[in-house]
Structure 1
Amino acid sequence: MNEKFLHLSINVSLCFVCFMCFINQNVQAQTQDSIFNQKELNDSARKAVKNSFQYLKAGSSIPVLFGQQQKEKVLQSYGIISGEELQSFPVAQIESGLYGKFAGLFVQQFSGKPGDDAPVMTLRGRTPLVLVDGIARDITSIDPEQVASVSVLKDAMATAMYGMRGSEGVILIETRKGGIAPRKISFTAQTAIQKQLSLPSFLNATDYATLFNEALTNEGKQPLYTAEAIEKYRNGSDPIGFPNVDWYSTIMKDQATLQRYNLNFSGGNKIARYFVDLDYLGQDGFLVSDPKRNTYETSNSFKRYSFRTNIDVDLTQALLLSVNIFGRLRNANEPGGLGINLFGSDVIYNNLLQTPNNAYPVLNPDGTFGGNQQFQNNLYGQVVGSGYRPSYNRNLGVDLGLRQKLDVILPGLYAQGKLSYNTYYSEQISRNKSFAVYQYVTNPGAAPTITKFGTDGSQSNSSSIDLTYRQSYGELALGFDKISGQHEINTSLNFNADDYVVGSALNLTNTTLAGRFQYNYGKKYFAEVSAAYAGMNLYPGNKRWGLFPAVGLGWDIAREDFMKGVGLNSLKLRSTYGKTGNNSGAGYYVYRQFYNSSGSVYFGNPATSGGSMIEGTLANPNITWESADKFNIGADLSAFDQRLQLSLEYYNNAYYDLLQQRGTNASSMLGNNRPFENIGKRTYSGFELTAGYYGKSKNLNWFVNGNASLSDSKLDYIDEVIRPYEWMKRTGGQTNQIYGMVADGFFRDQTDIDRSAKIDGYKPVPGDIKYKDLNRDGVINVFDEQAIGNTKSMLFYGLTAGFNYKGFEFSMVWNGVANRDILVNGAGTYEFLATPNGGYGQAFTHHLDRWTPATAATASYPRLSVGSNINNQRSSSFWIKNGSYLRLKNVELAYSLPQNWISFMKMNRARIFVNGNNLLTLTKLDRVDPEVYVWNYPTQRVFNIGVNVQF
């Protein structure tokens, strides 16, 4: 199936290429002047050193919802970068190339797992909707080479026309188009080395046994390991009976590869333009494999094949046809290991945190997997002996668009329509198998005693459809553009319907009628009104439709007569206000009460059985969409022939009618689950600054572009449970605020314990964490929990800079965050946590700094205990760490060979480049990565080299 899909995509794309080449050759002579002009423009844009200067020039066209606007007429809050900026990032997902690029956009990667490493993006505190060529789609459906531009649309004016889906903001991706230019063929090959960052530092077997004995002693129990056993761990004289296994090095490779190949064609003339892209990405994971044991691959890996064909054809001088065909095939592989709600590499990384170095040997003398009563799932066996789990998903879609100029009716009038169909299919295949582990116990002068745990099972084979969906989209629009002297009017009316069918569920349909009216006088005074009347079929009939208006005003002071001679190209003041909506979260028919069947009940005497019905979750007949009132004010300055750009904004977004369950009146008292109701209120506000300068001096072109965002949030209302003290209440606090106890050092001795407040349900001993008694009632309990960690507005920022000089290019991207605290806890932080299989978990080098009577003055970790400790491991300020950081996210150095070196090979360009990702991190954290701090699959540092040739 994979080969058929790939061959189909290649054949379709090549057919379009041949068709376009035929057209191009037949009319090339007619458009020679236009071709040369376009080529000169493209070369000039390339000299911008991968920046977005072309979008900052006066008259440049900026993508907005359902159209384009000239930069100087835009009142919206937006940011935009060229897709070329993404190509220097050696990453699998294009979201990873957006770090530090936009004010207001915060990006964080929680996992580096191949195929599942897309970071989470929040725009002004909310999760934005992603549109690809104006249609809501999965961002992973495209590769960087296909991207023409990425925009963030932030305020009500920018998103009001999306009605019920515009409240969270929008990330708008436009794909590349062909232009009036000779045929260009571009091929890029690159290969990279990946290395994992911030690996946990486990204790060796000797230190583990020593600290484990200490933890038992702290709890009044007898030590487990004898001095003789600890010495054998130390000298390695009996690696089977007394193993000391570095599990990370045993099951993990030091590095893994990432490869990417891209071939694209573009060109066209006055009749037809085309862009065709074929892309392959292969990313290996870090788990080892054993070809001697298996004929199949067990290591984790990810492969992606994608293609896109964008065609624009002028059927007549007034009618334009656009055809976009795109597809993606993603194959992943995982080991077959299973765990609780986890499988493959996820369960293996989780088990690494639960398997001490002395648990069992990797292999016994006869090659069988080591293990024992407590640890019956050998880590190496999970990697190479548990089978494998391939997964496949397919995405195929087509967009058809027509745009008809209606100047014969009214100059400036046009109509356009779009149809799109998109399908997605995902399948998981399980080829798991079980394996036994064996415990060897040596007997002096006799054969060893071998005990078997588990069974060696044959491979099972099953498959399941993970997810399927179909998306149908239709759009009709009518627009009118008119310039009369100093007066300019731009209007549009748009109707669209977006229909989803996920699996076997009912259709989910979003329908929107939207309009926009813009007016400006001499590009000096601006006014804009937009509105949408939108509905979704999941709401009850009287709550299905809503109106979402927005208004904006602007004034470019630099165009006033009294500003002449000041040297400013533009100084525009602008402000917008509007209402937006968000319809995510509503389920099917939640406004109706349902009853479900239950087990048998017995009636009468003698008793007879019969079925019964139980009431489902309480219905909410008043459920409706979430809403937000958004206010935005900004100032944009450009000077020195547009080379200096500066933008400053303030926003205040008040969200209300948010879907939440009530915290008061517990559901257990009702005998049922409470429904989600439109009761929540939140406010997000902040300041954003973007500044850039683009310089040129003879053969040197350079740029620097930075942004900073100060972001604040507030829980205005959440109907929380009754909390008697103000410091306990979540209402009024930040949306992601951490709550817990306030740590007050360690208990020094019994006298200190006797003088301190009593801990509810726990008897402390010296070395335990002591907490502040906030309400001074002499008891430490939930009434002493408050907001912990940083309560200031979070600051995040980014810097992109670079230059080119006589064929040399250099660029770098920094991103950082300040006023950010994180809660570091769990199996990667605590010591000796009990594992699901009855054993005791890992311990780490930071546990060497534990509290003891001898280290009481310098200890940075509480006294040790075995298993869970309800006092020391509760949420408290002790586990709050400074999560601020500054990261050199990306660096690229490239050289384009002189034209006279490559012209004999008919090349237009040959470019060699090296780049890297996550090269340097400055942070106060000493054990974890500031992004992947939950001990998930680690993020990677990537070193990449590649070449691009163009013909």
Structure 2
Amino acid sequence: MIEKLRYSFRNLGLGMLCLTAAAHQTAYAQSQDSTFNKKALNDSARKVVRSSYSFQLPSSKIPVLFGTQRKEQLLQSQGVISGNELLSFPVAQIEATLYGKLAGLYMVQSSAKPGEDAASISLRGRTPLVIIDGVPRNMSSINPEQIASVSVLKDALATATYGMRGSNGVILIETKRGGIAPRKISFTAQSGIQKQLNIPSFLNAGDYASLFNEALANDGKPARYTAEAIAKYRDGSDPVLYPNVDWYNSILKNKASQQRYNLNFSGGNDKARYFVDLDYLNQGGFFVSDATRNSYETNNSFKRYGFRTNVDADLTKNLLLSLNIFGRIRNGNEPGAIDASLSGITGSDLIYMSLLRTPNNAYPMLNPDGSFGGNQQFTNNLYGQVIGSGYRPSYNRNLGVDLSLKQKLDGLLEGLYVKGKGSFNTYYSELINRSKSFAVYQYTPKPDGGADIIKYGTDGSQNNSSRQDVTNRQIYTEFLAGYDQVFGNHELNASLNYNIDNYVNSSDLSITNSALSARFQYNYSKKYFVELASSYMGMNRYPTNKQWGFFPAAGLGWDISKEDFMKSFKSLNTLKLRGSYGRSADNSGAGDFLYQQYYESSGSVYFGNPATSNGSIVEAALANPNLSWEKADKLNIGLDISAFQNKLQFSAEYYHNAYSGMLQQRGTNASAILGNKRPIENIGERTYSGVELTAGYYGKTGNMNWFVSGNASVSKSRIDYIDEVIRPYEWMKRTGLPVGQPFGMVADGFFNNQTEIDNSAKVDGFKAVPGDIRYKDLNGDGVINVFDEQPIGSTKPMIFYGLTAGFNYKGFEFSMVWNGVTNRNVFVNGAGTYEFQSVGIGGSGQAFAHHLDRWTPATANTATYPRLTVGNNINNQRNSSFWLKNGSYLRLKNVEFAYSLPQHWISFIKLDRARIFVNGSNLLTITPLERVDPEVVAWDYPNQRVFNFGINLQF
């Protein structure tokens, strides 16, 4: 084995980099190959660089559901990357490390709030199932240092053994395990700085007051601010009566810290192998604190403590025990902010919402006596929400155990084995309320030096309550029998698996998925390949006699490079055609026994004289006794090419996934005649199709090892059937269009004068004036209404892509990751875009710099924003092409520089490796969007740029 290692390094130069999605099949870490683990390695071969792109040999085994396959056998549509590729991302959640890495995988991070900043994931247009070490789990239960590989399983052949849970694809995560090697200790410490991106440009008090008067005039109302008042706002001569508070910089810091520490151990011998990992993350928030007022922390934050122990022990020559014990503690903190008028919105969410609705001239942050400023209209001081409203800690606990036994039965039949597995996972979440109310004071100075003070609200005592937020437990059991054997040029692999996944959420009845699955593989001379997979699966949330279904899939492959007529192509290593077809399903919409009619509580009703309130029970939505799962018939065709001793990798795939029986309510035949809501039915039909390309090259130039790889995905969707409501015009129909296609009016500039208004279609229910948005009258009836709504924005297939590149030269390392997307639609509207928005009626919220470019008679030819109004405007603020923007972007997602100190510098302190690194995320974004981040469009909790420094020591 050592000679094989040396030979490969000598000929490949870099020994094959851990591949990105461009060469995904070769990325799985060699340590996961049990055959490799049981061969002793000398020190020079066993040392592992703590690098984002460690130089490793390609693995002979690729993880699949319920096992592994050799790379040359693989017919499934799959991508895989090494866990080492995730380490260069200074992020808190695993999802953020996958940007641009795997073809077909698309992600959007809509909030960067600590602890809740996981990106949403779409795989070929659908939300995939996550499986960790063979068990369906939440991805947040692990950290990057624990991960050996991340795979995406995309076609029916790859997911058939998961039956009615596999149609949306699978993200398969394998954690690291020990090997036969001397003990290795790795310690990583890193510290980073977070900075918020795309901060809104709030208007100062003077400009705000001037534009507010203009908006009132446009609405036919008298001005609120005098010229004298506007002047005082501008000159700052009276900050109590005429405040100009920069709220953003008053309550938010310009940076926040982030630290992470990781310690892991690995090693073992021919009797037992181990991997132990301890991890700590501390992610700070941006709110200011005041230690003189509080003995506790009011800033938002997120802390995570994690541990994992993976042990493999050979109890006998043929009996292997594997034990995984893992846990996670997540502690969060939020300001105690609460607003009685906004039920359920608290803490950071409320404060960021308030920032968009509190103008700079609303009230002074603090009065001269140090009290919180406020008035009858603004009774919830922003600074008070941050430092004077108490705090809200949260506690999350997750503990899991996996135990498996694998028995070889070569004594009965060579290649036969059985395996049993059991897993227990529990999760508990508790929210604590230690918030408190505070009073605000309207402070009006008097000529004699005193002041008139009006108090609003109360200074309440601190709450001390808690509630159980979430509690669940999962018990997973599995029994597998397998057979692997080679007969000359014939190779056979077969397995039969039975598993039960039982999940209980709080006091709900359990959800139980049971499946009997099988997989059969055959290849002849490693040229011709056949694979069959199927499952017979049931779920207890369906009618008793309709709980089980059969889900088959088949695949064929041909490696043309192994044919005699291809022998002259010496540099060609692989030229494989493969295809698969099968049926899978999705049972995630089964709900809570929707096939049974039930009743639920409703609002109060009143009886008697005098009337008294009584609770009521009403019939829930009509049940569907024929409820079933959503089906997917999936076709996948692929081409894999590798050449030049596998340095060049290329893969191309086409897929066509036809979904039927999708759960929807009928749109036709109004349900009012029934006196109830229509049932959920299996009537919808959709198609997802596309092309995915990956390519990469890995080379050596002198002492430099380098690589570049990329992937691109063309993703198309179509609504085939949704039982639409009756729509009189073709342009109104959703059928035949992409899933999620935006609809709205087609904006046609602004009305510049009354003549244009008189000669244009009239807006239904609204009297337009100059400066309003004009819309196209699509049906020519002279009225602008719902009949003039059509698809807006791009209807082309979305294209998303990623590029990864880097090098290693004499201890120096560099890597970068780009990701991008085109043909993407996003609405840029809401309180962060509109003027003078507030929760209450009347409008008194913020205004922004882009409102200076509003329409006025003087700016009619250059205006980029309609005339200003106070509060809501049913014409200008309706969904239209004016607010729908091109959401395409190209982002430098990650960059890392590193240097490994020479061995002779550190050997005297018994160090095997000392690596210093600096990395960053979200460093550059190129987009046609203005003012907003292409992902956190609504400025919910702004996206962040992170600069991070760290050191890794290995002993």
TM-score category of the 2 structures, normalised to the smaller one: over 0.9
CA contact (8 A) 1:49 1:804 kept: no
TM superposition shift of 1:838: 6.3
Distance change (3 Å), C-alpha of 1:49 and 1:502: closer
Aligned to 1:415: 418
2:909 counterpart letter in structure 1:
M
CA contact (8 A) 2:50 2:915 kept: no
Aligned to 1:796: 800
CA contact (8 A) 1:553 1:574 kept: yes
What is the distance in 2 between the residues matched to 1:583 and 1:496? 16
CA contact (8 A) 1:337 1:387 kept: yes
CA contact (8 A) 2:482 2:496 kept: yes
TM superposition shift of 1:718: 1.2
Give the count of matched residue pairs: 917
Aligned to 1:658: 662
What is the distance in 1 between the residues matched to 2:250 and 2:629? 52
Where 1:164 maps in the other structure, the secondary structure is: helix
1:885-940 C-alpha deviation (Å, 9 max, x unpaired): 11000000001111111010001000000000100111111200000001210111
Which is further off, 600-609 or 314-323? Answer: 600-609
TM superposition shift of 1:660: 1.0
Aligned to 2:386: 383
1:542 counterpart letter in structure 2:
N
CA contact (8 A) 1:890 1:918 kept: yes
For residue 949 of structure 2, the aligned residue among 942, 945, 949 is 945
Distance change (3 Å), C-alpha of 1:855 and 1:612: closer
Q: Counterparts of 1:148-297 in structure 2 under 5 Å?
A: 148-297=148-297
Aligned to 1:445: 448
TM superposition shift of 1:731: 1.1
What is the distance in 1 between the residues matched to 2:264 and 2:614? 67
What is the distance in 2 between the residues matched to 1:746 and 1:615? 49
For residue 820 of structure 2, the aligned residue among 811, 816, 821 is 816
Whether 2:61 is the aligned partner of 1:61: answer yes
Whether 2:427 is the aligned partner of 1:424: answer yes
CA contact (8 A) 2:185 2:265 kept: yes
What is the distance in 2 between the residues matched to 1:798 and 1:611? 56
What is the distance in 1 between the residues matched to 2:602 and 2:875? 41
Where 1:163 maps in the other structure, the secondary structure is: helix
CA contact (8 A) 1:108 1:119 kept: yes
Whether 2:693 is the aligned partner of 1:689: answer yes
Distance change (3 Å), C-alpha of 1:471 and 1:597: closer
Where 1:878 maps in the other structure, the secondary structure is: coil
TM superposition shift of 1:612: 7.7
Aligned to 2:563: 560
Whether 2:635 is the aligned partner of 1:631: answer yes
What is the distance in 1 between the residues matched to 2:585 and 2:649? 32
Distance change (3 Å), C-alpha of 1:719 and 1:854: same
Where 2:859 maps in the other structure, the secondary structure is: coil
What is the distance in 2 between the residues matched to 1:89 and 1:259? 13
1:86 counterpart letter in structure 2:
L
CA contact (8 A) 2:285 2:301 kept: yes
TM superposition shift of 1:541: 1.3
**Structure 1 stretches of 5 or more lacking a match?**
1-30
CA contact (8 A) 1:53 1:694 kept: no
CA contact (8 A) 1:188 1:946 kept: yes
What is the distance in 2 between the residues matched to 1:792 and 1:262? 45
TM superposition shift of 1:600: 9.3
For residue 364 of structure 2, the aligned residue among 354, 361, 385 is 361
Which is further off, 909-918 or 435-444? Answer: 435-444
Aligned to 1:13: none
What is the distance in 2 between the residues matched to 1:540 and 1:720? 27
What is the distance in 1 between the residues matched to 2:611 and 2:244? 64
1:777 counterpart letter in structure 2:
D
Distance change (3 Å), C-alpha of 1:944 and 1:745: same
For residue 729 of structure 2, the aligned residue among 725, 739, 749 is 725
1:131-183 C-alpha deviation (Å, 9 max, x unpaired): 00010001000000000000000000000000110011000000000011100
1:431 counterpart letter in structure 2:
R
1:1-23 C-alpha deviation (Å, 9 max, x unpaired): xxxxxxxxxxxxxxxxxxxxxxx
Aligned to 1:646: 650
Distance change (3 Å), C-alpha of 1:837 and 1:722: closer
CA contact (8 A) 2:142 2:306 kept: yes
Q: Percent identity?
A: 69
Distance change (3 Å), C-alpha of 1:314 and 1:706: same
CA contact (8 A) 1:101 1:798 kept: yes
For residue 346 of structure 1, the aligned residue among 333, 344, 349 is 349
Aligned to 1:370: 373
Which is further off, 549-558 or 720-729? Answer: 720-729
For residue 679 of structure 2, the aligned residue among 634, 653, 675 is 675
Aligned to 1:143: 143
Aligned to 1:778: 782
What is the distance in 1 between the residues matched to 2:168 and 2:345? 31
TM superposition shift of 1:836: 3.1
Where 2:545 maps in the other structure, the secondary structure is: helix
For normalisation by structure 1, the TM-score amounts to 0.94
Aligned to 1:753: 757
Q: Counterparts of 1:316-715 in structure 2 under 5 Å?
A: 316-339=316-339, 340=342, 341-445=344-448, 447-566=450-569, 567-596=571-600, 614-715=618-719
1:834-855 C-alpha deviation (Å, 9 max, x unpaired): 3338661100000000000100
CA RMSD of aligned residues (A): 2.1
What is the distance in 1 between the residues matched to 2:37 and 2:56? 25
TM superposition shift of 1:40: 4.5
TM superposition shift of 1:514: 0.2
CA contact (8 A) 2:315 2:321 kept: yes
TM superposition shift of 1:91: 0.4
What is the distance in 1 between the residues matched to 2:72 and 2:97? 27
What is the distance in 1 between the residues matched to 2:50 and 2:601? 69
Where 1:902 maps in the other structure, the secondary structure is: helix
Where 1:691 maps in the other structure, the secondary structure is: strand
Aligned to 2:117: 117
TM superposition shift of 1:617: 1.8
Where 1:828 maps in the other structure, the secondary structure is: coil
2:312 counterpart letter in structure 1:
D
CA contact (8 A) 2:648 2:696 kept: yes
CA contact (8 A) 1:429 1:464 kept: yes
CA contact (8 A) 1:49 1:702 kept: no
Where 1:734 maps in the other structure, the secondary structure is: coil
TM superposition shift of 1:588: 2.4
For residue 829 of structure 1, the aligned residue among 833, 838, 844 is 833
Whether 2:310 is the aligned partner of 1:307: answer no
TM superposition shift of 1:602: 10
What is the distance in 1 between the residues matched to 2:768 and 2:751? 8
What is the distance in 2 between the residues matched to 1:609 and 1:435? 33
2:360 counterpart letter in structure 1:
N
1:626-650 C-alpha deviation (Å, 9 max, x unpaired): 1100000010000000110000000
What is the distance in 2 between the residues matched to 1:216 and 1:868? 13
What is the distance in 2 between the residues matched to 1:133 and 1:269? 22
What is the distance in 1 between the residues matched to 2:529 and 2:37? 37
2:671 counterpart letter in structure 1:
S
CA contact (8 A) 1:265 1:275 kept: yes
CA contact (8 A) 1:374 1:839 kept: no
Where 1:215 maps in the other structure, the secondary structure is: helix
Where 1:212 maps in the other structure, the secondary structure is: helix
What is the distance in 1 between the residues matched to 2:415 and 2:611? 82
TM superposition shift of 1:46: 4.6
TM superposition shift of 1:565: 1.7
TM superposition shift of 1:34: 7.0
Where 2:686 maps in the other structure, the secondary structure is: strand
Where 1:854 maps in the other structure, the secondary structure is: helix
Distance change (3 Å), C-alpha of 1:841 and 1:433: same
Where 2:858 maps in the other structure, the secondary structure is: coil
Distance change (3 Å), C-alpha of 1:772 and 1:52: farther
Distance change (3 Å), C-alpha of 1:33 and 1:415: closer
Distance change (3 Å), C-alpha of 1:602 and 1:185: closer
